[in-house]
Structure 1
Amino acid sequence: MPSDLRSAPDDLNACFAVAATLAVDGRTAAAIAAFEAVVTRWPDVTVAWANLGVLRRRAGLDESAIDAFARAAALQPSEPSRHAALAQACHAAGWMERAMAAMRRQAVLCPGDPEAAYNIGITAPLVGTRQAARRWLCQATIQDPSRAGAWLRLSRIATRLGSDDEAWRALRRSLVLAPGSTEAWGDRVRAFEDHAAAPRLIVIDPDDDEVWVLAARGAADPAETARWLARFQGREVVADATVRLARQLDLPEGRRWRTRYERWIERYEISDARAVAAEIAGWNDPPTIDLLMPVCDPPVDALDAAIASVRAQSYPHWRLCIADDASTDPAVHAALDRAAAADARIRLFRRTERGHISAASNTALGLSDAPYVGFLDHDDALAEHALFHVVRELRAHPGIDFVYSDSDLLDQTGTRHSPVFKPDFDPYLVRTANYVCHFAVYRRDRVEALGGLREGYEGAQDHDLILRLMDSDPPPVIRHIPRVLYHWRAVPGSTAGNAEAKPYAAKARDRALTDHLARTTPGAAIASTDWGPRVIWPLPDSRPRVSVIVATKDGHALLRRCVDGVLGGTDWPNLELIVLDNGSRRAETRAYLDELAADERATVLRRPGPFNFSALMNDGAARASGSVLAFLNDDVEPLHRDWLEDMVRHALRQDVGAVGAKLFYPDRTVQHAGIILIPDYVARHIHVRLSARGHGYMARAQRVQTLSAVTGACLVMRRSVFETVGGFDAERLAVDYSDIDLCLRAGTAGFRTVWTPFARLIHHESATRGGYLSVEKRQRWEEETAAMRARWAARIANDPYYNPNLTVDPEETPFDLAFPPRLGQPNLEDGPVRD
């Protein structure tokens, strides 16, 4: 008992007064201790628990504060303010489901309180219930029609639900009530694209450059547009949207300004033609590459540009094999005749019947006798040094069967934009989408052995070819050139600008993938998603035993939610839970662990001592009986019942080592969607704070893929793989990086690390560990960072699943352009891939 209370230890009023005085004096720690003594001695005093909750929140002790508020609400369940305080604490800590439950109890007790309805309305979307949010916000606007914020939030929810008329009415009401609201005017300008309203927003917020551009878009004539854009005169760097608008209107600034990508091109793309020519001249027996171009009534100017891009190649040893697929436009015929007459390296064949792109491509293939063939669409273009870089790669790595490059888009003015910087070849990602696409060069004999492109798969014929090549014997050698060698023209109706422009292509893709799975993995199936197909790998009839391993210390509330999610909220028939207690001291935690130990599905191991994540996980694995190990943080809770099944489906694949999940912060933004390797800090999470449905770069936040590493907060691995690589490194990587190191060691042993977005869990990140506050912890982190750099220096410098043209600057967002790019390092191999 605190010394302040010893004078009257049995007098509730005196003890309470002492605790309250300490709180008023700002002596928070002492006040907490005093109120803890009060509730220990008199556990039914509601106001003492409530005050203890306030003080613990003030001290940053969120979990214990929530426990105190919950006790107060339990003692006084008919008092709305108790549930309101609990809801506020849970909301601030990110425990949205629990906050919602407390808010609903408050609303039941105060059915006419617009504040309660509003709070539920703004919280409901965070737990994925937008329809409920609309109902509660409608109720809030009925109970208090003068609340502008409720109308604004209702407008936003209605927009997300596709109710545009309702959204517009709610937004207008919000603006009537709060005509100076920057948020409301911003929604009107941006969400409703009412660019004519932008001048009003500029009056309120004149420092927002984007609004000036939107005002220019809403201008009545080019002169007015130019007046709005005059704000940017004299600037060397402006937003890309400003550049594009100025060019659309043919303003002088549009010719002077450069987009960020254009500045990157000017700085880093090869421009020394003489150096390239000198290198080519020094090559012995350079190979010929035949470019296959099926043609069918393209715009003539685009066709001329495509052919011109071939003739402009710095590498001279090429042929262009054109198969005209019975074009009907005389201008196209004339253009092809001119091209064939102008350059003897151009071979032209005219088909008399239209066979579509696969048949025409095969006709072009029949014109080839070169060792390598590349594919070029009739309206796209090659970069000047495309073939030079391809042959350089072929010379550096003899035996290549297939090589592909990065690409970008061409708009209708010929301006390059939207580069796609791809990872190295990944069979898991390519099963979800043909991210490889252009520029693609194959060994001709491998293509011919496959029978060329298959008819009936038009729209996905190249995707089908890649999948069949993957399945062929011997396994193909595939390389990636991280340079933009292909310019894909984005025109109306083109898949370059819109992947949904050709619905038949998606059907053909699904047929190609179904065929691939039938050849390689009988029993596998595909399911459709908004971002492409999802492969459902088969499970054995006898489900393997899965051991879920969790370390904990004094995180009672979090641990209970984690355990409830594993034992009660997970659909897996053969499961055990192993909890390693790293020295819990709180009575409620120890009592819960005793309760848990009585459950036949769970084993509790007492492991006091300094925190060593790796040692704890190794100890749990040693005691586990399952053939599959699932390592889980105690601050992680499942969001759906089949999370483990999805991860196990991947983990049972023979080429897979570690499997990672998609983890969210409590507000449903992304906390973990995989890990990339970066030189400054070894590793970094990607797509952090992206919305749950945000697609991310190349839609990679929504697609299964191989990555260098995933977090150990939720990691599944077969026991055999874990034992092969020696488990976690408890000696040199006790706390940090041991999960990354495990993934990388599995990679060197020939096993992939796969991340799936279909296993979704909430992660209250490091909630029971705390931050790096001590000198000791900082020193340990530096030592473990140095150990990782020494062990994995080459791999950290060149992550094969993160393009070197993308930034690794810790101050910038992953997938932004790198200034400068990290080109020049060789591609690294993980080792033999087990299929």
Structure 2
Amino acid sequence: MDWPSAWSSPTAQVFPWAATRSPWSPFPIPSNRLALRAYGPETGGVAQRARLFDALSPATAPLAGVQAWLRRFPDPAPAPTARSWAIVLVGDEPEAVTRTRESAADASGLASLAALPSPDGIGFAPADLLAFLTGEARDLDHVILAPAGTRFVRDAPARLAAALGADPEGYLVYGDALIGAPGAETILAWPSFDYERWLEQGYGARLFALPRERAVSALNAGAGDLYRLVLAQIDDPVRARRTVLHLPGIAATLPPLDLAAATRRLSEATAAHLQARAIPARIWPGNGAVLPAIRVEREPSEGTVSLLVMPGRDRDGLAPRLEALRPALDRIGGELLVLGQGALAPDGARPWSPARAMNRMAAAAKGDLLCYLDGDLEIRDEGWLLELLGRLREPSTAVVGAVVRSASGLVHHGGLVLGPGFGVGEALTDHLADEPGPGDLMRVAREPSAVAAGCLLLRRCDIFALGGFDEVRFPVHYPALDLCLRLGARGARVVLTPHLELVRVAAPGAPEPARKGVDPQRSREVAALRARWGGVLAADPAYSPLLGLIDPAYAALACPPRPRVARQRNLHRSDDVEPV
């Protein structure tokens, strides 16, 4: 077949894979598959038209084609605003400043641009920025901060300023970005406000806007770098879910980052922030690939602990794994409960239900804090329980989960993404466990909307306040996901940590359970999720509208992107769950 001449245009050249992708590709070809099902494997006009439709109207685009994707789907024009604003560059190297100035020359509303001396593009003298904000910029409303050398996308600074001006509660707005050399850029597509990831990565701190008055207040309190300026706006992580905004859309291409300097400054800023909040913690340097990474180790949450083990498929190896759990429990005086074999049998006419088993174990436990653990998980980290308990130290955190890898070194569970197939997808499953992941996602703790039940730490009172896991709607596949969303509807946070070594082992000779395929029970539970949680399935706040709703997640760009409007970390909504 001869393809139309549109393939030679810069806006179309990235999409011809759709006609030839194999069935296992992450880039779906729905029309081609529908034609195959309807008409069989024929090569006539129907198949050709289906391939052409998929090529011209794809559901996703490869991440490597971000520039062509940007030309095809430019960000919407900024809303009109009477607000005036300034750009402040951290760094004053003349060529870098010129690149940024030229990229922002046509920005509507820009009243002034200043460049601050900086040794690393992150830190600056507070007096220098104060002199600008209280002098030349004293009558302006907002200030946008970025390192010198940033190349703004047309109208992006105006979009940031307009989004902040449209929200009377807005303390800060940050945008998505690109990094890397021209033609080989990597997209940094952020979630809505993620407090845990701000602490350990400072992910949006190199491109953000805030009201001039709030910048002045932070500077007077001693903020002397981009990370401290940001963290000063989120001293209350619960309130910050309303006041910190994410504006989806590529705002700029960022210059190279001095990772060593960024890690040091982020460590100092996070330590000062937690100290001001009276949260005891230690800070450890991490291993970021494109962004700084640190590990925040809070003191463990207070309360007695019950470790509730659900026997897995490898029953013969359960005893040594249980024995490996005892030292961590003995150090804190916790109890260990293992679900008995009798409880695994069907209850009357009802089939085996993990949700019912977890409720029974919760009722039998004596601890204030309940840690559910899949019996097929092998602990290879002495401090695993303290890491989970430390994450629950924050009063706003209600659920803590952990990244789990397989014995082969791949990610088995890296969190859940809501939306693929108007259902649930896995995040980063089958990636190498030692990879950094997109935007260094695997190097830092973060806040997905939900986690799976393999490793789960909760407060006992929270489980019973919600009436336990839902045994009726989600008896098998999604009881933990539903509980996470119900807690999220009440303003609580779900945290996923990669900072412990959990390995899923398989029974010798036993095949791995299939991840896909027709499962009537799963289909019923997905239908229940759509009925109860349709809003969050359509717009997962922990996932970017710029990324494709495919499984696995983070593998492609969305065509077209979902709405690119400023978003808070809103509470999840459902018809039968009300926030309190």
With the shorter chain as reference, the TM-score category is: 0.7 to 0.9
Q: Which residue of 1 aligns with 2:234?
A: 470
Aligned mate of 2:265, from 486, 491, 508: 508
Aligned mate of 2:106, from 285, 305, 312: 312
CA contact (8 A) 2:174 2:246 kept: yes
Give the drift of 1:472: 6.9
Give the drift of 1:718: 1.1
CA contact (8 A) 1:294 1:364 kept: no
Q: Alignment partner of 1:700: what SS? A: helix
Q: Which residue of 1 aligns with 2:209?
A: 441
Aligned: 1:518 with 2:275: yes
Q: Which residue of 2 aligns with 1:399?
A: 169
Q: 1:377 to 1:524 in 2, by over 3 A?
A: closer
Amino acid at match of 1:535: V
Q: 1:522 to 1:779 in 2, by over 3 A?
A: closer
Q: Which residue of 1 aligns with 2:3?
A: none
Aligned: 1:805 with 2:546: yes
Larger radius of gyration: 1
Q: 1:356 to 1:660 in 2, by over 3 A?
A: closer
Amino acid at match of 1:817: L
What TM-score results when the alignment is normalised by the length of structure 1? 0.55
Q: Which residue of 2 aligns with 1:550?
A: 309
CA contact (8 A) 1:632 1:713 kept: yes
Aligned: 1:290 with 2:86: yes
Q: Which residue of 2 aligns with 1:427?
A: 195
Q: Which residue of 2 aligns with 1:535?
A: 296
Amino acid at match of 1:462: L
Give the drift of 1:665: 0.9
Q: 1:351-362 counterparts in 2 under 5 A?
A: 356=124, 358-362=126-130
Q: Alignment partner of 1:733: what SS? A: coil
Give the drift of 1:766: 10
CA–CA separation in structure 2 for the residues paired with 1:783 and 1:292: 53
Alignment deviations for residues 476-523 of structure 1 (CA, whole Å, 9 cap, x no partner): 51100011112223xxxx41xxx43xx344333222222112111343
Amino acid at match of 2:286: T
CA–CA separation in structure 1 for the residues paired with 2:65 and 2:305: 49
Aligned-residue Cα RMSD (Å) equals: 3.6
Q: Alignment partner of 1:759: what SS? A: coil
Aligned: 1:818 with 2:577: no
Give the drift of 1:438: 3.5
Q: Which residue of 2 aligns with 1:389?
A: 159
CA–CA separation in structure 2 for the residues paired with 1:795 and 1:563: 37
Q: Which residue of 2 aligns with 1:365?
A: 133
Q: Alignment partner of 2:458: what SS? A: strand
CA contact (8 A) 2:284 2:294 kept: yes
CA–CA separation in structure 2 for the residues paired with 1:702 and 1:816: 21
CA–CA separation in structure 2 for the residues paired with 1:769 and 1:259: 35
Task: Please say which of residues 522-531 and 744-753 is displaced more in the overlay.
Answer: 522-531
Q: Which has the higher contact order (CA 8 A, sep 6+)?
A: 2
Q: 1:578 to 1:815 in 2, by over 3 A?
A: same
Give the drift of 1:576: 1.5
Q: 1:781 to 1:421 in 2, by over 3 A?
A: same
Aligned mate of 1:662, from 372, 392, 403: 403
Q: Which residue of 2 aligns with 1:230?
A: none
CA contact (8 A) 2:315 2:507 kept: no
CA contact (8 A) 1:554 1:584 kept: no
Q: Report the number of matched residues.
A: 504
CA contact (8 A) 2:92 2:118 kept: yes
Give the drift of 1:774: 13
Amino acid at match of 2:560: P
Q: 1:266 to 1:473 in 2, by over 3 A?
A: closer
Q: 1:310 to 1:293 in 2, by over 3 A?
A: same
Q: Identity, % of aligned pairs?
A: 23
CA contact (8 A) 1:658 1:743 kept: yes
Q: Alignment partner of 2:542: what SS? A: coil
CA–CA separation in structure 1 for the residues paired with 2:376 and 2:71: 47
Q: 1:491-502 counterparts in 2 under 5 A?
A: 494-495=256-257, 499-500=258-259
Q: 1:735-746 counterparts in 2 under 5 A?
A: 735-746=476-487
Alignment deviations for residues 194-236 of structure 1 (CA, whole Å, 9 cap, x no partner): xxxxxxxxxxxxxxxxxxxxxxxxxxxxxxxxxxxxxxxxx95
Aligned: 1:718 with 2:480: no
Q: 1:548 to 1:487 in 2, by over 3 A?
A: same
CA–CA separation in structure 2 for the residues paired with 1:634 and 1:295: 53
CA–CA separation in structure 2 for the residues paired with 1:696 and 1:548: 30
What TM-score results when the alignment is normalised by the length of structure 2? 0.78
Q: 1:507 to 1:319 in 2, by over 3 A?
A: same
CA contact (8 A) 1:580 1:606 kept: no
Aligned: 1:621 with 2:378: no
Amino acid at match of 2:193: F
Give the drift of 1:559: 2.9
Q: Alignment partner of 1:534: what SS? A: strand
CA contact (8 A) 1:428 1:704 kept: yes
Amino acid at match of 1:444: R
Q: 1:435 to 1:694 in 2, by over 3 A?
A: same
CA–CA separation in structure 2 for the residues paired with 1:546 and 1:408: 44
CA contact (8 A) 2:164 2:172 kept: no
Amino acid at match of 1:820: P
Aligned: 1:269 with 2:10: no
Q: 1:324 to 1:736 in 2, by over 3 A?
A: closer
CA–CA separation in structure 2 for the residues paired with 1:263 and 1:410: 16
Q: 1:620 to 1:324 in 2, by over 3 A?
A: closer
The gaps in structure 1 that reach 5 residues or longer are 1-234, 240-257, 328-354, 586-604
Give the drift of 1:618: 0.3
CA–CA separation in structure 2 for the residues paired with 1:441 and 1:270: 18
CA contact (8 A) 2:417 2:553 kept: no
Amino acid at match of 1:263: A
Q: Alignment partner of 1:513: what SS? A: helix
Give the drift of 1:568: 5.5
Amino acid at match of 1:788: L
Give the drift of 1:410: 6.1
Q: Which residue of 1 aligns with 2:149?
A: 379
CA–CA separation in structure 2 for the residues paired with 1:384 and 1:392: 14
CA contact (8 A) 1:662 1:670 kept: yes
CA–CA separation in structure 2 for the residues paired with 1:740 and 1:403: 29
CA–CA separation in structure 2 for the residues paired with 1:746 and 1:805: 26
CA contact (8 A) 1:359 1:453 kept: no
The gaps in structure 2 that reach 5 residues or longer are 1-11, 17-62, 573-578
Give the drift of 1:268: 0.8
Q: Which residue of 2 aligns with 1:100?
A: none
CA contact (8 A) 1:298 1:379 kept: no
Aligned: 1:648 with 2:389: yes
Give the drift of 1:558: 3.9
Amino acid at match of 1:268: F
CA contact (8 A) 1:547 1:577 kept: yes
The structure whose residues are more often helix, as a share, is 1
Alignment deviations for residues 30-59 of structure 1 (CA, whole Å, 9 cap, x no partner): xxxxxxxxxxxxxxxxxxxxxxxxxxxxxx
Q: Alignment partner of 1:311: what SS? A: coil
Q: Alignment partner of 1:526: what SS? A: strand
Q: Alignment partner of 1:319: what SS? A: strand
Amino acid at match of 2:110: W
CA contact (8 A) 1:569 1:638 kept: no
Q: Which residue of 2 aligns with 1:579?
A: 338
